[in-house]
């Protein structure tokens, strides 16, 4: 999607707004599907990354599955046509009535996050249910501490001893079918080694308990390049991980969210002020941390591109900030850019994941609009 399309979107719909490149999303699905072509492979889109209905509808038509972590996400994907047999249910705090609904509907798998959850599930088994166990292999994903999920100290999943006890209990229950193991060690992972460590440890665990894994759910977490040149090397991933996966001889599920949608979207914003003080220049936008909280929450650094003519403009170092009444409302500090003028547009890049999905109503500033580019035209999203 070029800058002219983004400017057209801003002029047509107003700012701030998210603009999603739908052909890019579908192309990413093709890439990962081709990569795993030699496996019985299922892509399950991680809905927590982006729950936009038009994007979900396109994913449904593509044949993908989905991974949900809440009952709200479950209802969202059902509303756009996903049948229960294409839905994987994750989450560490499933309510009893939610488990009952998942059992009644017959979802593809309920991924059990604790022994206690297994006990709760047993109380609502009015019909057979398919389950997997989320194992926590105590692997450092080498990512931000807030999105690391595979360490012993994290709240997600169970250790191997607990998983072994769960397997024994499930084997004794004719209403439960244990289809496999699930392992999600974190997000925005840019090195292959943590995946290798996790997969190898799970292979040996499965052998130690005599478990034939029908479905090996690798979770997700593939990291993208946010402008620092670091992303997961898929060729290295193929060379190091695939030989071990072939030893399992099982179906493979991959729960990707960020890698699919993050690079597809831009947050287009208008420059309201260029404020100059004795010590700083502030470029003040009409969007802020309530629309994109990743910089404030994770220290994320998103590339910001000008949607105005930069030729002949003076280069400045500025803090790019928003309108929220918080000092944390800063997208970039001392960011080098061609000096903008009031009323001109900029685009914050790679915001398709954990962008609008994490937006809030803080300060009662309205949420941004969402616009889809389908390759031919722009339209307001539902």
Query: CA separation (Å) from 145 to 120, 149, 185, 297, 300?
Result: 30, 8, 11, 11, 13
Judge whether 349 counts as a catalytic residue. no
- Dmax over Cα atoms in the chain, in whole Å? 74
Tokens at residue 179, please? 């289809």
Sorted by sequence, the CB contacts under 8 Å of residue 157 that are 6+ apart come out as: 113, 134, 135, 136, 149, 150, 182, 183, 184
> Is residue 338 within a helix (H) or strand (E), and if so which, with residue range?
strand 330-338
Q: Please, which residues bridge with residue 180 across strands?
A: 132, 215
CA pair distance 122, 132, nearest whole angstrom? 14
CA pair distance 36, 42, nearest whole angstrom? 9
Q: Please, which residues bridge with residue 348 across strands?
A: 267, 304
Among residues 187, 192, 191, 183, which one has the least CA distance to residue 248?
A: 183
Asked if omega into 168 is within 30° of 0 (cis), the reply is no
- ∠ at Cα 250 (247, 256), nearest 5°? 105
CA pair distance 293, 359, nearest whole angstrom? 7
**Phi/psi at 240 (5° precision):** -95, -35
Query: CA separation (Å) from 377 to 70, 259, 362?
Result: 33, 24, 32
Residue pair 69/48 in contact (Cβ under 8 Å)? The answer is yes
- ∠ at Cα 38 (33, 43), nearest 5°? 30
- Is the Cα dihedral 372, 376, 379, 381 positive or negative? negative
Q: Which residues are catalytic?
A: 325
């Amino acid at each position: 999607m070029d800058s002219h399309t983004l400017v057209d979107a801003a002029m047509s719909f107003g700012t701030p707004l998210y603009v999603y490149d739908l052909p890019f999303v579908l192309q990413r699905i093709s890439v990962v599907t081709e990569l795993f072509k030699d496996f019985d492979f299922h892509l399950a889109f991680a809905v927590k990354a982006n729950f936009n209905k038009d994007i979900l509808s396109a994913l449904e038509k593509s044949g993908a599955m989905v991974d949900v972590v809440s009952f709200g996400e479950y209802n969202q994907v059902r509303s756009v046509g996903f049948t229960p047999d294409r839905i994987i249910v994750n989450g560490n705090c499933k309510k009893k009535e939610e488990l009952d609904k998942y059992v009644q509907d017959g979802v593809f798998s309920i991924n059990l996050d604790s022994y206690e959850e297994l006990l709760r599930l047993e109380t609502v088994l009015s019909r057979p249910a398919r389950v997997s166990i989320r194992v926590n292999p105590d692997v450092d994903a080498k990512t931000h501490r807030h999105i690391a999920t595979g360490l012993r100290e994290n709240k997600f999943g169970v250790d191997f001893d607990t998983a072994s006890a769960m397997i024994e209990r499930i084997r004794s229950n004719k209403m439960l079918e244990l289809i496999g193991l699930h392992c999600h060690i974190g997000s925005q992972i840019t090195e292959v080694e943590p995946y290798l460590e996790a997969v190898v440890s799970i292979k040996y665990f499965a052998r130690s308990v005599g478990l034939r894994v029908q479905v090996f759910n690798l979770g997700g977490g593939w990291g993208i390049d946010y402008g620092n040149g670091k992303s997961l090397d898929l060729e290295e991933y193929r060379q190091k991980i695939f030989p071990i996966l072939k030893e399992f001889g099982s179906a493979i599920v991959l729960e990707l969210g960020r890698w699919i949608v993050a690079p597809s979207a831009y947050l287009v914003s208008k420059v309201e002020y260029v404020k100059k003080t004795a010590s700083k220049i502030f470029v003040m936008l009409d969007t802020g941390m309530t629309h994109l909280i990743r910089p404030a929450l994770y220290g994320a650094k998103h590339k910001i591109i000008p949607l105005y003519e930069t030729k002949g403009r003076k280069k400045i170092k500025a803090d790019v900030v928003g309108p929220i009444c918080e000092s944390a409302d800063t997208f970039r500090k001392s960011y080098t850019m061609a000096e903008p003028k009031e009323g001109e547009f900029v685009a914050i890049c790679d915001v398709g994941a954990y962008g609008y999905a994490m937006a809030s109503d803080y300060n009662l500033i309205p949420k941004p609009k969402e616009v889809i580019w389908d390759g031919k035209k722009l339209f307001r999203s539902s």
